[in-house]
């Protein structure tokens, strides 16, 4: 009866080995065992894996920090403070699909600007009736303290990651475009009565950008995916009090921006996007 020889390390043939690389299945000795996500790999497979994964840069903003994120938070807080002083400002900046008259804290429908003024109210034109600025300004408008607190905490946590990945000016443009995308879906599918406001659409857009960048760079999605899934569940569970159209519109816009930035083929268009 013949006895099969014990396997030996492929790099050290004088060493018996009963452990195999999880990637190439070659025998490896303890000196060649490199810890991997599952089991152990040989040094060559570890180096090959490191070359195939694009490494993200550390968050290093220099002495000034993520200034665009700080500026966006500051603008939102300044607008909120102005609304506390003059509540009627909220109606001028919020997104209205139809002309809106607010008098003594109550909405009054069917009034033009003259009729609203006669009632002593504040008139806000519909977005297509002379108020196109509302598509953007609504993303900087909050009324309740809990609303601006949750949005600004989210922006403070997510914004620096996107600002580092895209660069300051591209990040600023992406934030505004995501807010615009949320507003456009509100216009297309939102209620015809009332108004919407808040930075949630833009923040959902930043989440969408991060999801695409994580996928492109081979980074784990467990935590980010859990955050996004939780926010989507809350969006639809609370659809009577939040604008799901704004959230989904911002998210879809962010996914599109992330894909455009991350997957544009190398060449002139890529250089323009990443300049």
DSSP letter string, 33-82: -EE-SSSEE-HHHHHHHHHHSPPPPP----TT-SHHHHHHHHHHHHHHHH
CA-based nearest residue to 259, from 218, 216, 225: 216
Active site residue 200: yes
Tokens 């980074």 belong to residue? 219
Q: Give the span between the Cα atoms of 219 and 214, in whole angstroms.
A: 5
* Three-class SS state of 84: helix
Active site residue 247: yes
CA-based nearest residue to 260, from 141, 178, 148: 178
Active-site residue identified among 94, 183, 200, 243: 200
195, 94 in Cβ contact below 8 A? yes
CA-based nearest residue to 131, from 95, 181, 178: 95
Give the active site residues.
200, 247
């Amino acid at each position: 009866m013949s006895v099969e020889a014990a396997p030996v390390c492929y790099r050290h043939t004088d060493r018996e080995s009963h452990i195999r690389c999880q990637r190439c299945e070659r025998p490896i000795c303890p000196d060649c065992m490199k810890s991997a996500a599952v089991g152990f790999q040989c040094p060559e497979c570890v180096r090959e894996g490191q070359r195939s994964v694009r490494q993200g840069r550390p968050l290093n903003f220099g002495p000034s920090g993520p200034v665009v994120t700080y500026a966006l938070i500051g603008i939102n807080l300044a607008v909120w403070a102005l609304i506390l002083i003059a509540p009627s400002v909220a109606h001028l900046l919020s997104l209205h699909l139809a002309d809106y008259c607010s008098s003594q804290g109550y909405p009054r429908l069917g009034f033009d600007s003259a009729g609203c003024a006669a009632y002593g109210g504040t008139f806000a034109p519909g977005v297509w009736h002379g108020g196109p600025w509302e598509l953007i300004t609504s993303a900087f408008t909050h009324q309740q303290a809990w609303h601006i607190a949750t949005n600004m905490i989210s922006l403070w946590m997510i914004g620096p990651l996107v600002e580092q990945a895209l660069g300051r000016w591209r990040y600023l443009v992406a934030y505004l475009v995501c807010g615009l995308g949320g507003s456009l879906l509100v216009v297309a599918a939102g209620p015809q009565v009332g108004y919407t406001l808040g930075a949630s659409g833009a923040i959902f857009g930043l989440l969408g950008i991060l999801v695409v960048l994580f996928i492109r760079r081979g980074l784990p999605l467990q935590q980010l995916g859990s955050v996004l899934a939780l926010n989507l569940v809350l969006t639809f569970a609370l659809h009577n009090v939040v604008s799901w159209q704004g959230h989904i519109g911002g998210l879809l816009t962010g996914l599109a921006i992330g894909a455009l930035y991350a997957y544009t083929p190398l060449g002139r268009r890529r250089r323009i996007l990443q300049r």
